[in-house]
Amino acid sequence: MKIEFLGTGAGSPGKFRNVSSLALKLLDEINAVWLFDVGEGTQHQILRSTIRPRKIEKIFITHLHGDHIFGLPGLLSSRSFQGGNLPLDLYGPRGIKDFVNVSLKVSQSRLAYPINFHELNEGQEGLIFEDNKFSVYCAPLDHKIACFGYRVVEHDHPGELMVEKLKRLNIPSGPIYGELKSGKTVTLPDGRIVDGKEMIGPAQKGRIVTILGDTRKTENSVKLAKNADVLVHESTFAKGENKMAHNYYHSTNVQAAEIAKKAKVHQLLLNHISARYTGKMAGTLEKQAQSVFPNSKVVKDFDVFDVPFQKLKEQEGSL
């Protein structure tokens, strides 16, 4: 599981930051990519990455401001031309279906695949997707228009068969190992009875990634981010600009760090950076956030972050 930032800027494209979009790369898990927001120029950013549009299986839109959706019609069209013929699921606030359909109709664009629209009602929260690998939850944030945050929860991985323990017990390898791994009770040739459940190590806790749209500081951010491995939070304003952040329905870097601290996340990644903060000033944003939550980082376009599994001891300590 990796996160790749395709656009980390706020409002309009800049020389060094494109507008909002990030990819949750689940290639090892389900051989797919999920996008979160598709700002103008996202498909150009994708051309500079290793992402293949045909691998994009789901798109989650946080809200309908242009810097988060203006790249969507072009990306959807290009996906057709580049071998994408499987259905695509598109999640977002009510109105996203009209935006896409009108854009495609007016431009007389035809897709080689169907889009399954999942429109979220204002104020909606809870489970919006689940399969045997992942669950996705949403909750409303505090922005000028309906805006959502998303919590992606990977299901726990079954424990591994404790091969070394089996060897110490002189249990021969072969089909017996398969039966024990499935949790069956096996009678060995020498008459011993072995319970497979006792030969399987502890389950590996699944990872949690929380991706928020534009928002003021709100308790729903804490709820979505609780114990997350990674929290992606906007940082449009700097320390001391609380009033301006509130007036424009955004957050400061320090407010984001306070959310991360309260939610007990492992890592905070700050994006949606104003064009006012370039070079050393972006570094200052990061240091200010780190004074509240040390594991904070201001990201830039094309940064890629691996989301590691927690060690079992850390899991036990967090319960």
Enzyme catalytic residues: 67
- Gyration radius (Cα) of the chain, Å: 22
Q: How far apart, in Å, are the Cα atoms of 36 and each of 24, 32, 183, 226? A: 8, 13, 38, 19
Rounded distance between C-alpha atoms, residue 166 and residue 164, angstroms: 5
Rounded distance between C-alpha atoms, residue 138 and residue 120, angstroms: 9
Closest CA to 76 of 54, 91, 60, 45: 54
What is the amino acid identity at position 146? A
Closest CA to 268 of 246, 249, 242, 290: 290
Strand 88-93 to 115-120 pairing: parallel
Beta bridge pairs of residue 26: 32
